[in-house]
Amino acid sequence: MKEEKNSTKHTLIHWQNFKLKLVFQGLIIGILTGLVIVAYRLLLDSAFRMRVQLVEAAQENLLRILLFFGGLMVVSWIVKKMVKKVPLIRGSGIPQVKGFLYRKIDMEWKGTLINKFFGGILAVGAGLSLGREGPSIQIGGAIGKGFSDLFKRKKLEEKFLVTGGASAGLAAAFNAPLAGVMFSLEELHKNFSPVVLISALTASVTADFITKSFVGIKPVFDFSGLQSLPLKYYPYILILGIIMGVFGVVFNKTILLSQKYYKKKTTIPKKYKPYIPFVLAGIFAFILPEVLGGGHFLIERMSHIDFSIQFLLILLLVKFSFTMICYGSGVPGGIFLPLLVIGAITGNIYGDILHHCFGFEASFINNMMILAMAGYFTATVRAPITGCILISEMAGSLHHLLALAFISIVAYIIADLMHSKPIYDSLLDVLERNNRNDFKSNADTKVIIENVVCLGSESEGKMVKEVNWPEKCLLVGIRRGDKELIPRGDTVLQTGDLIIALTDEDIASEAVINLSKITEVCKAAE
């Protein structure tokens, strides 16, 4: 009798034999994602230059100004239609990828790929304060899903292909392959699975190679000649970490409030609200162009030009508010780069104050910008390792890892003490409440889920038979270092054990949550 493709037997056999296949598949996903994101970045650069030329041509010419705003309205109408057609392209796309991996949200890869690609170019190219990294991650995830569908990969492989695509997307967006890998481990999956590592690392490195072949090997930010911060200045880092921790919590709360505003009944009819950020982008193009787009060029300008504290404060207030309005509108675009820019502005202001009031050396103000970016990212996303690696790769130097780790720890603790939930978890909760596109699952399809036994968790130090495992969740393997253990009733679980369990696809999302409660340290225990 022929076994079904997604049966328990075939799933377990495939699990033992498919790891090497992930390397080959990761190469393909990395190449495809790298090429697509290169095109995405080049078109965004072209859109940026076109916008600058149009603004320059429209100066002091009323008719051209009106035509410029008319063009923005057309662009906003097109983006609005795209979002209505494929609602899952709203926002950054990272919560959507997480929702798919957690088997809470389904993904129609063709519509997502096409509309996110062109919708992101139109929105960010028009000057909205949004980044390219979120769309790049979702585009990469859609490429992984498309590869799985076209070549009829097993459900077991699908999530690794999507993870590899998402990792490659971040790597290609920021020339940061290690950050792409760590983001998948620390944020998307929240565990350090060796299988996830294989697929993510292969795809990220490949995508980074492809990207650098087209755009060059220079880091994203030019902080040439930057020296390591002396240890005597570390008390200043402590204070900055506290500030960024608080600011990160404010960022998270405000961005959720901005989404609520767009859904509330106000004096502005709901159908006109999506046009608001585009109108503001047109206004800022003439009076404050520094706040437009993700902000990559603004960071580079701040690193080479001394702005006044008053002007930096204006930039901080306007950039923050504009980012909230843009993201709340639901147009395609990420918050990675804007939040890094907001952090950099804050660090610049902090460094200037230290310089003028406490004799802080001006040559280290750029260090404060870099550190503030890492602290702000950590407080907002709650992924400190990713933050340290990402900023190091973007700045092109590993000399600042100690200071980056220090401020990330401080910002993380502050955000945790203020009970702030990671931004992408919060956005996923909102997405789940509003999304009607539930994950299409099959009770007859078996899937593998993994989790790591953490120090202080409910399962640590217990025998397998003593653990209250989730219903319909079968423990099929334990990886301890390089050893594969066959679970027995008297097998004692140790810290660091990778739990491999089998469950039905239709309850996989619930099983992942329940398994995490057993293997991770819950808040009540803390």
Q: In this predicted structure, what is the pLDDT of residue 195? A: 77
User: 463: part of which helix (H) or strand (E)?
Assistant: none
Average pLDDT over residues 275-291: 93
CA-derived radius of gyration, the chain: 23
Report CA-CA distances (Å) from 385 to 209, 382, 489, 507.
23, 9, 36, 31
Domain ranges in the chain with CATH number 3.30.70.1450: 441-519
- pLDDT > 70 in the chain, percent: 92
Nearest-CA neighbor of 93 among 48, 130, 127, 129?
A: 130
In angstroms, rounded to a whole number, what is the distance separating the alpha carbons of residues 417 and 411? 10
Q: How confident is the model at residue 5 (pLDDT cuts 50, 70, 90)?
A: low
Q: Does domain 232-268+284-431 have CATH number 3.30.70.1560?
A: no
Residue 88, pLDDT above cutoff 80: yes
- The predicted model gives 62-79 an average pLDDT of 93
**523 pLDDT exceeds 60?**
no
Q: What letter would DSSP give residue 363?
A: G
Average pLDDT value over all residues in the chain: 86
Q: Quick check: 441 pLDDT over 60?
A: no
Which of the four pLDDT bands, split at 50, 70 and 90, describes residue 495?
Answer: confident
Question: 91 pairs with which residues across the strands?
Answer: 332
Task: Please give the C-alpha separations between residue 469 and each of 13, 104, 438, in angstroms, as whole numbers.
Answer: 23, 21, 26
Ranges for all domains in the chain classified under CATH 1.10.3080.10: 8-215, 232-268+284-431
> Percent of the chain at pLDDT above 90?
49
The pLDDT value recorded for residue 512 is 76
Lowest mean pLDDT among 124-133, 194-203, 252-261, 305-314: 194-203
What pLDDT is attached to residue 155? 72
**How confident is the model over 233-282, as pLDDT tens digits?**
999 999 999 999 999 999 999 999 988 888 776 777 777 888 999 999 99
Edge-to-edge strands, sheet with 483-485: 446-452, 498-504, 473-480, 483-485
C-alpha distances out from residue 412 to 99, 237, 382, 386, Å: 24, 14, 6, 12
pLDDT at 12: 52
pLDDT on residue 46: 93
The sign of the dihedral angle between the CA atoms of 24, 28, 29, 33 is: positive
* Segment 293-308, tens digit of pLDDT: 988 888 888 888 889 9
For domain 8-215, say whether CATH 3.40.50.1100 is its number: no
CATH 3.30.70.1450 fits domain 441-519: yes
What is the predicted pLDDT for the residue at 321?
95
For residues 448 and 501, the answer to whether their CB atoms sit within 8 Å is: yes
- Find out whether 410 and 434 touch, Cβ atoms under 8 Å: no
Query: d(Cα 291, Cα 218) in Å, to the nearest integer?
Result: 24
What gap in Å lies between CA 466 and CA 370, rounded to an integer? 48
* Cα gap 51→325, rounded to integer Å: 20
- Identify the band that residue 285 occupies on the pLDDT scale cut at 50, 70 and 90: very high
CA distance 142 to 162: 7
Q: What confidence score (pLDDT) does residue 1 get?
A: 40
What pTM was estimated for this model as a whole?
0.86
Task: Give the separation between CA 13 and CA 162, rounded to whole angstroms.
Answer: 21
